[in-house]
Amino acid sequence: MDYTVVLERNDDGRWTVTCPVLPGCISEGDTRREAVAHIRDAILLYLRAVRKELALLKKRHHAQVTHVAV
């Protein structure tokens, strides 16, 4: 899956990169290439945490999980 990311150069010359559709998913690097590699890792970790949380929700007796088309 592809995610749009936003790269911004800091005053110190480093790059900050965020993934707008994943709130709080942010990373940085000394170069654009490094920043993109780091955000890729951050996205994978973010999604792993979401899957883990979803699995925990499914185990709760009072919780229901479904899909909504938008």
Asked whether residue 65 is assigned to any structural domain, the reply reads: no
Contacts of 41 (CB under 8 A, 6+ apart): 27
According to the model, what pLDDT value does residue 7 have? 98
- The domain in which residue 11 lies consists of 6-59
Whether 40 maps to a domain, the answer reads yes
How many structural domains are present in the chain? 1
Q: 48 in a domain, yes or no?
A: yes
**Looking at residue 66, what is its pLDDT?**
83
Provide the pLDDT for residue 21: 97
Residue 17 lies in a domain: yes
pTM of the model: 0.81
| φ/ψ bin of 38: left (φ > 0), alpha (ψ from -120 to 50), beta (otherwise) | alpha
CATH classification of the domain holding 51 = 3.30.160
Separation of alpha carbons 31 and 18, rounded Å = 14
| 70 residues of the chain, pLDDT tens digit each | 999 999 999 999 999 999 999 999 999 999 999 999 999 999 999 999 999 988 887 787 777 778 899 9
